[in-house]
Structure 1
Amino acid sequence: MMETIYSSSTEIYNEEITYQNPLLFLKIFELINESAVHGIPDPWYWHCHKQVEFLIVTEGTLGIQTKDAYTLLEAGDVMVLGSSQPHRTHKYSAAPLRQIVFQVDLMQHFDLSAMPYLHCFSELTHPLESFNALFRQNAEVKRAAYDLILGIYEESQSQKLGYELAISAGIKNLLLLLLRNDNRDLTALTEDTGLSRLRPALDYVDRHLSDKIAVEDVCSKLGLSYHYFIKYFKKVMGLSFVDYVNYKRIKKAERLLLTRDLSIMEVSFEVGILNMAQFYKLFKRHNQCSPKEFKQRMRSQTSLTPALAQ
């Protein structure tokens, strides 16, 4: 099921994933395209979904664009797309294309034993897309991830006795592979984060991004003093409350620039930043380009410079 969020020349679809096994919170399937037709389609639509997506290519070449880059995936390549990250793909060459798409709600696979590592895979402080650099730089890790995803697919197809256990183990092993081979210092994130206690504050921010957000109003939602809340939030989330709000506002701005025909000023106001100089500064800090440059880059279909994944 696909729902159009905005109707424009750059429509983006919010895909509602129907799980093959509701207890595993995942959908994994193979796409085969043997047609000689290839190249960028017109129109070329964006889509997103709340589930994390892993892609592996078993034959041919897949072109994929995210907000960060246009990449070519060839046989043996692996790519991960974080939750709710817009992306679009196409068949790059006339040769047959075979790919496996693995969509999963990773958070559902963190049981009590794995919970201390939940924040190591946080979209807020450590976007999952950063693991793609690991796949590019470490052929052994890429191959291991490829084999694990392929194994999960094969188990889902065979549905032999205990396949649910095999799939759950495969997902845990995939997370372990990423965790142990990540070059970032994740030791500070392995303690219980208390994220559930902050949930009302995070939900409040999501609902009021277009408004002025006062720390005092958020504190009252949790029944915490101002100073305790500021320290507690930084400890749990790994960044300050102000930085978190700015992060969420810029992410919303990216989506508006991608999908709505609004001026830069209108986008700035829509995300609750009334000072244009501040909006430009924050946007450039997160994207290394201006909002105008971002909009032009993301809407361009003719100036894509492919980068090989390996």
Structure 2
Amino acid sequence: MEPLHSSFTDIVNEEVIYQNPLLFLKIWELSSDSALFGPPAPWRWHSHRQVEFLVVTEGLLAIQTKHEHTVLSAGDVMVLGSSQPHRTYKYSADSLRQIVFQIDLKQHFDLSTMPYLHTFSELTYPLDQFNELFRSNPAVKQTAYSLILQIYEESLSRQIGYELAISAAIKNLLLLLLRNDNRDLSAHAEDSGIARLRPALDYIDEHLSERITVEDVCSLLNLSYHYFIKYFKKAMGISFVDYVNYKRIKKAERLLLTGDLSMMEVSFEVGILNMAQFYKLFKRHNQCSPKEFKQRMRSQAGGTPLLAQAD
């Protein structure tokens, strides 16, 4: 087997094009009936900022990460954290069927579920630790397997309400991991200080169209600057600036979908006065420009399938 360090500098940074820009995911099936198996040449590493779940429905799949080499069989599930280098290959001559599910998990948290973002943000708890849960708890693995297959089937059918079904399945998957993890994450969530930050979170929501500074929020909570920024990141799993930008872009998405404001008006409404900065932040969160986002969503509303095209 090729050593881990031999080609680690040659990692392909993969851009994930979402099948639906509001669901922030891509899910598809890979299959091979060829008798050929084993590591290809060259056997390349790749990574992406989205979390990836792998589900094997038939055959054997080998996966190598910087920490381990694993072989999955039918019914197995594995999660790969954000930007984690990995590579795979067909492990036997038998047919192989696998579901690849890539998702930006943080986009599926709203204000009511934000206290649990830290569990999945990977700042404190690497997501690959959930793989031990799949190995040690067959019931959890089977439920995760079923939920991911449900997401795949809904993405194929695109029946009315499929977005609701997919969102519900994603939340059930997160809940499954949260409630069955062996670590005492519930105690951490209770002590994470969200209640103390509530005035700050409310202030951000109420002043998104204005300039928001750390100093304003610090004075609101009567905390020092340095203590506040550390406290906020520990409690929320995301920095203060990133959280404010996240909320601004979520508001911009709503304005683009529900109104006829110009791009400049939308940018100003969410408190970003620099258009270049607005476009940069929007594309960082959605992998497309505001205009492309609006066109895609209008196309979807009219019944035309979304095209998975590069921006």
Match of 1:189 in 2: 189
The answer to whether residue 32 in structure 2 is matched with residue 70 in structure 1 is: no
- Distance between the aligned counterparts of 1:134 and 1:66, measured in 2? 18
Equivalent position of 2:17 in the other structure:
18
Aligned to 2:154: 155
**What aligned pairs does 1:126-205 form with structure 2 within 5 A after superposition?**
126-186=125-185, 187-190=187-190, 191-192=193-194
Q: Distance in 1 between matches of 2:22 and 2:234?
A: 31
- Residue 86 of structure 2 corresponds to residue 87 of structure 1: yes
Measured after TM superposition, the shift of residue 120 of structure 1 is 1.3
Question: Is the 8 Å Cα contact of residues 66 and 87 (structure 1) preserved in structure 2?
Answer: yes
One-letter amino acid of the counterpart of residue 157, structure 1: L
Q: How does 1:95-110 map to 2 (within 5 A)?
A: 95-110=94-109
Equivalents in 1 of 2:144, 2:17: separation in Å? 24
SS in structure 2 of the partner of residue 180 of structure 1? helix
Is 2:66–2:85's contact at 8 Å kept on the other side of the alignment? yes
Q: In 1, distance between residues paired with 2:73 and 2:169?
A: 23
CA distance in 1, matches of 2:150, 2:14: 25
- 1:1-310 aligned within 5 A: 10-186=9-185, 187-190=187-190, 191-192=193-194, 228=224, 231-232=227-228, 234-238=230-234
Partner of 1:291: none
How many angstroms apart in 1 are the aligned matches of 2:172 and 2:57?
21
Contact 1:58 1:100 in 2 (8 A): yes
1: CA distance, partners of 2:136 / 2:65: 19
Q: Distance in 1 between matches of 2:148 and 2:70?
A: 20
Letter of the structure 1 residue corresponding to residue 168 of structure 2: A
Structure 1 residue 235, shift from structure 2 partner = 3.7
Shift in Å, 1:16: 0.5
| Distance change in 2, residues 1:10/1:235 (3 Å) | closer
Distance 2:78 2:147 in 1: 13
Go from structure 1 to structure 2 and tell me whether the alpha carbon gap of 1:9 and 1:115 turns closer, same or farther (over 3 Å shift). closer
Displacement of 1:9: 8.0
Aligned equivalents of 1:233 and 1:74: distance in 2? 44
Distance 1:40 1:178, change over 3 A: same
Corresponding letter in the other structure for 1:30:
E
What is the CA–CA distance in structure 2 between the aligned matches of 1:158 and 1:9, rounded to whole Å? 39
Query: Does the Cα contact within 8 Å between 2:106 and 2:121 map onto a contact in 1?
Result: no
1:234 positional shift: 5.0
1:189-213 per-residue CA deviation (whole Å, 9 max, x = no partner) reads 354296xx9xxxxxxxxxxxxxxxx
Q: Which amino acid aligns with 1:178?
A: L
| Equivalent-residue separation in structure 1 for 2:25 and 2:233 (angstroms) | 27
| Offset, 1:113 | 1.7
Give the percent of matched residue pairs that are identical in Structure 1 and Structure 2: 65
**In structure 1, C-alpha distance between the alignment counterparts of 2:68 and 2:8, rounded to whole Å:** 20
User: Contact 1:58–1:98 (CA<8 Å) still a contact in 2?
Assistant: yes
The 1:122/1:56 distance shift into structure 2, 3 A limit, reads: same
TM-score, with length taken from structure 1: 0.62
Q: Unmatched 5+ residue regions in structure 1? A: 1-7, 198-220, 240-310
1:9 and 1:82 map into 2 onto residues whose CA distance is 17
**Count of residue pairs brought into register by the alignment:** 208
How far, CA to CA, are the matches of 1:229 and 1:93 in structure 2? Answer: 57
Query: Residues of 1 paired with 2:67 and 2:229: CA distance?
Result: 28
Pair 229,70 (structure 1): closer, same or farther in 2 beyond 3 Å: farther
The answer to whether the 8 Å contact 1:10/1:45 transfers is no
Give the alignment's TM-score, normalised by structure 2: 0.62
**Alpha-carbon contact 2:31-2:97 (below 8 Å) kept:** yes
